[in-house]
A = this chain, B = another copy of it.
Amino acid sequence: MNALNPAAPQDAPTFSDIEAAAERLRGHAVVTPLLENAALNERAGGRVLIKPENLQRTGTFKFRGAFSRMSRLSPDELRRGVAAYSSGNHAQGVPAAGAILGAPTVIVMPADSPTVKVEGARRLGAEVIFYDRWTEKREEIGAKLARDRGMTLVPPYEHPDIIAGQGTAGLEMARQAEAVGARLEAVLVCTGGGGLTAGVALAMEALSPDTAVYSVEPQGFDDTRRSLEAGQRVGNDPRARSICDALLAPEPGRLTFSVNARLLKGGLVVTDTEVADAMRYAFAHLKLVLEPGGAVTLAAILSGKLPTAGRTVGIVCSGGNVDPELFARILAGEL
């Protein structure tokens, strides 16, 4: 079936899955506000509406997807627990959901994860197992762990319940924009594996179909942009590096890309320097703490990757889990 119609696999989520996820998340996830800033509007020459998912439980949108998925597990599955692999933020979403749902959690994390993310996972009750981001396959380690311990594997993006959960951010954004009388001409989404992007694109398709949705990726990790152009999934050069630790997925997911290939208008790319500039801007003007991966959409606006003059553009700022040492270095202009 996928071979015949790769753009709409059988297991792709729909908008009704997002609505159902929103119901499950009610009272557990933060309904993050939609912010607007006079200084940013002036700089953009238009209207920029910010969905600050750094204000979400655990500091990123990842809680939405994790809770969406885990709240559908059976009592027996929850009792046996959940395994996950993550570059960091999913590693906090899963234990936070586990703590609420009474499920033990074990997380496979890159050995070079920011300390703030490792400590965050542990504080939320997770067991953390490290792997080498550049030489080992986290999917294999996670799958083996789940098998050996009888746990359910909760992937970071490649599952319809995860995509539907992340899509609740888009659902809120569309409704909040409407409530303030704004017609979103474009929405920019921080893209790693593509789960948040696919979820937001599905929500916009249903609630704001004229909105052009763009992925935004760090230079060297623009697999979604290149895959969109190639019409098929292509990966990143394994030698690439970026400060955007949350967005270093090696290639788009099969499921996420099936959605994104159908719904995205295109892909934007920003440099680490532009990301650092955006983090400083968020500090100085938005008064928000953004992590590098959470600032790529703002970086795209500030560096003019998408024209904003006279337009209304939404940006999802996906997280704020950044080590204070790195943040201080960025404030000092060292990056």
Contacts and interface: CB of A to CB of B under 8 A. Distances in A.
B289 A116 contact: no
A111 interface: no
Given A38-B96, A287-B290, 9 more contacts: A33-B35, A54-B287, A55-B287, A116-B284, A280-B324, A287-B320, A289-B289, A325-B331, A327-B328
Interface string A96-118: 10000000000000000000100
Q: Tell me the dominant secondary structure on chain A's binding face.
A: helix
A36 B28 CA distance: 11
Interface of A: 30, 33, 35-38, 52, 54-55, 57-59, 96, 116, 280, 283-290, 320, 324-325, 327-328, 331-332
A287 B57 CA distance: 11
Contacts of A325: 331-332
A73 B283 CA distance: 34
Contact of A328 (B35, B58, B288, B328): B328
Nearest to A36: B30
B55 A284 contact: no
A287 B36 CA distance: 17
Contacts of A332: 324-325, 328
Nearest to A180: B31
Contacts of A324: 280, 283-284, 331-332
A283 B287 contact: no
In the A-B complex, the 9 residue pairs with the closest CB atoms: A287-B320, A33-B33, A328-B328, A54-B287, A324-B331, A287-B289, A328-B331, A38-B57, A283-B289
Contacts of A57: 37-38
B320 A327 contact: no
A116 B280 CA distance: 13
A287 B320 CA distance: 6
Given A30-B36, A36-B30, A280-B324, A287 B331 contact: no
A290 B283 CA distance: 10
A332 B331 CA distance: 12
A325 B57 CA distance: 29
A286 B59 CA distance: 8
Q: Specify which of A36, A58, A285, A289 lies most central, judged by the most chain B CB atoms within 10 Å of its CB.
A: A289
A57 B332 CA distance: 25
A38 B331 CA distance: 27
A289 B287 CA distance: 5
Contacts of A37: 30, 55, 57
Contact of A283 (B33, B55, B285, B327): B327
